[in-house]
Homo-oligomer: A and B are copies of this chain.
């Protein structure tokens, strides 16, 4: 098998493998899953650490779509539609079992694998959501960016936690993903003015 093809195959299998077995999964088992000898892995990746890093970069950091930021700010659509569309897609394409497990394993193992890059993206997301909803509602937002972000976490955290319940704890499966998204988005929008008022007045 040609170099690049094999390498891609290993990365694919490794992603699945480490997501399921944790970052401590053994290279011999991984090789077996790839249908190759353990030794061959080391032709493509100098160390296990390098393989893990590449899996992480490809799967975790590559999961955010720039188009989301554009679509979230498309004011020709009502915010309810934008948020609904975004979180459906986000839940389907990013908050998957594979992504979540890798992300959690990495976060638990290394104190600062997740934060840096992710934090920046998510922060921007949170601020965008707040800005857009506030604009649509003609609401004045408080200054404190930390408070602002915490407000957006009301929605983002609820949906993220739903994904964790679903994929890590394996519960909360009786409603469909779309139903849950719609509910959380509606609840967030319905309580938005109250939330801003409550948070501003302290």
Contacts and interface: CB of A to CB of B under 8 A. Distances in A.
A61 to B, nearest CB: 15
Interface stretch (A8-16, A50-58, A64-72, A167-175): A167-175
Give this chain's copy count. Answer: 2
Contacts of A164: 161, 164
Contacts of A174: 146
A190 interface: yes
B194 A198 contact: no
B183 A187 contact: no
Contacts of A147: 175, 183
Contact of A161 (B24, B161, B169, B171): B161
B115 A170 contact: yes
A51 B184 CA distance: 40
Interface residues of A, number: 48
A169 B199 CA distance: 24
A126 to B, nearest CB: 10
A129 to B, nearest CB: 14
Interface string A94-108: 000000010011011
Contact of A187 (B118, B119, B154): B154
Given A147-B175, A151-B187, A190-B197, 9 more contacts: A115-B170, A115-B171, A119-B169, A147-B183, A183-B198, A186-B198, A186-B199, A187-B199, A190-B198
CB-CB nearest 7 A-B residue pairs: A191-B191, A190-B194, A157-B161, A146-B174, A161-B161, A187-B195, A186-B198
